[in-house]
Structure 1
Amino acid sequence: MNDPNDPYETTETHLERLLGRALNSFDLPDATVERLGCALAHASSLHSSHHSASLHRATYRHAYLLGDGSSLVLWELVHNTGRDGTEQHELYAEESEARLAASRLPAGFPGFAGAGSAAGPGSTFEQEFGIDLDADLELLAALMAPPPAPLPPMYVPDNSADHARRVLRRAENADRPGDGTARLLRSAFAHHITQVFGRQFRVAGKDAGFTLYEHAFLLLDGTERSLWEVEHTATPDGRHMCEVYEAEEDAREAMELRARVR
């Protein structure tokens, strides 16, 4: 079905609205966006949905008929994890990417009960300075804990060089990998994504999520190279932010630093 609010919406208008509201439309492959320029017709349908006390999410399938007779599908993830529960939209070219993004969404925020310390939750010290000492200690301990033994990566050939380009492009940290790494990863022909760490915590009196991913790439010469991506919402306005590093220890240090920022 097309947009229920406007069943006569043109495909061009539909695409403008879809791309305009998506937080990550810049992350779509350039080839996909170019092909959408010749879309003649479209159909949208609800693919899946999940609703709980704290999380509402839905995935929509948008199918397009192109001018050359071929078809193209976009997957839209809609969820309420924005600031103050506002609705957010994300777009993906592959269903697997939409499923992975959905799995990253928080299911709720855990509480942090004090352990009987003199400055436990609700104490005058914490109320005055807005600090939850037990939560901070738990967060730092988790960030600094050694990772579990990784399973051998199962590499999948899936436009891996373009995946590496998109990971590097969305990195916002000033010390992200440079042009040398980008050139090297152009020879990637297979990759594997592993979630190494993921927790929700209270940081500076606000709920914040920290997730660490390893993007492992297999290059044409048989060597392996990894990018370590930190996703977090420990920003002043709760905005989702991505940082990318070449070493796991640098990524974990960045998460620890973000957790300490007041």
Structure 2
Amino acid sequence: MSAPHDSGPGVGFGTEPDASPEAQLGRLLGRALNSFDLPDETLERLDGALAYAGSLHSAHHSAGRHRETYRHNWLLIDGGSLTLWELVHNTGRAGTPQHEVYVSEDELHLATGRLPLPREAEPEFDIHVPMTPVKLPPLPPLHRAFGLGDPDNSVDHARRLLRRAENPDVTTRPGPGTARLLQEACAHQITQAFGCRVGHGFTLYEHAFLLCDGCEISLWEVEHTATPDGRHMCEVYATQEAARAAMEHRASSYPRARR
């Protein structure tokens, strides 16, 4: 058995001192092919995590094929902890590393068992890094960190976002009141929203705007190809709940959007 390859995720405490717990979660979700299958409740619990620890849990290397599993722990603001399990392997057709993420060790074992590796390919070693829950005092709400303000750019971004919205039901689009509010935008931030995935043809983005009075407002953009001719289109909603409901409706209307 050889050592884990260099392209795997960083493991252990303090290996990336500049990476916050939130950044570590973003990196894991960004590289995992099935990140959209994670329950929304799990991601909500990880919001505002205070500390992160990653460790190599087990590994198998043979005949040019490899499989490693990683344990990712986060210390939560309520003093508890939450673990996600990452599977990395190169058993696909292209032979390139593939990453998957699971919420339980049982799910991880099921996924590992489906890999085309020899039956005797059991974990050669098993490493555990316990995280002791710590009781912490309540923290004040976390505020979004916007970059350097550029009012002209933010107002123009809001205008272009609203202009490209093609909601089938026009009453679900953000109205004139929202457009007027966004004329006071002085900074904005775009992030991909993770959670339950309805199909590989859908992507959900949050467009957060900082207004001149210090208030924040978010719009939710759904990008998809669930159209009669497979054309790419965008829809914009005022709430994440409305955006996810629209994704579910689109996916049920065009089943080929599910994969």
| TM-score (normalizing by structure 2) | 0.41
- TM-score (norm. length: structure 1): 0.41
Indicate the structure whose relative CO is greater, using CA pairs within 8 Å and at least 6 residues apart: 2
Q: Greater strand percent: which structure?
A: 1
